[in-house]
Amino acid sequence: MAAVDLNSQLGHLARRLQQAHHLLWNTMVSEEITSPQFAVLNTLVTEPGLDQRTVGERVGLDRSTIAEVIGRLVSRGLLGKVRDPQDGRRFLLRLTEEGERVQRKLAVRAARMNQVFLAPLSGDERTLFLGLIQRVSDAAEGLRNPAEPLAAQH
C-alpha cells in the first residue's frame, strides 16, 4: 500500500495553517481574545445592532459556538445586549466602549500578524491566495451533505 502525500491533502495543509495562525495570533495579537471573538467584535463595528444568529452567519460560526463566544464577550464587558423592540425574543448586540477600544487595538495587531503570516508571498500571490481560500470557504459553507459532491462524480 502506498502512502498518501500529505502535502496534497487539504485537511493536513489546513491544520498546519491553523496551527501557524493560532501561534501567531497568541504571540502577536492576543492571548485573551480569540480570533473568533475578534471576528465578532469586528463585525459589530461595521454592523452594530445585529442579532446573534446574523453575527454567527457573518463570521461562519454555528449556533452553539456563536452563543458561547457572545456569552464570553458579554461577561468580559465587551458586548452589550438589548431586546429587539420588534421581536422580544431576540437580542441585538453592540460593542461597549471597552469593546470598541479592544477591537481597535486588536485590528492593528491582526493586520501586522497577517503581514507576517503572508510574508512568503508576493503582493499578487497574497491577493490570489486569499481570494482562493475565500472561494473554497464560501463553497464549503454551502455544503449540506458532504457525500453529495462525491456522488456527483460517479
Closest to 73 in 3D by CA, of 43, 118, 117: 43
What one-character DSSP code corresponds to residue 129? Answer: H
Please name the residues in contact with 107: beta carbons below 8 A apart, sequence gap of 6 or more: 42
What is d(CA 97, CA 139) in angstroms, rounded to the nearest whole number?
A: 36
Closest to 68 in 3D by CA, of 83, 44, 52: 52
Q: How does the average pLDDT of the chain come out, rounded? A: 91
What is d(CA 114, CA 4) in angstroms, rounded to the nearest whole number?
A: 31
**Residue ranges of the chain with pLDDT lower than 70?**
144-154
Instruction: For domain 32-140, say whether CATH 3.20.20.140 is its number.
Output: no
Tens-digit pLDDT profile for residues 3-14 = 988 888 888 999
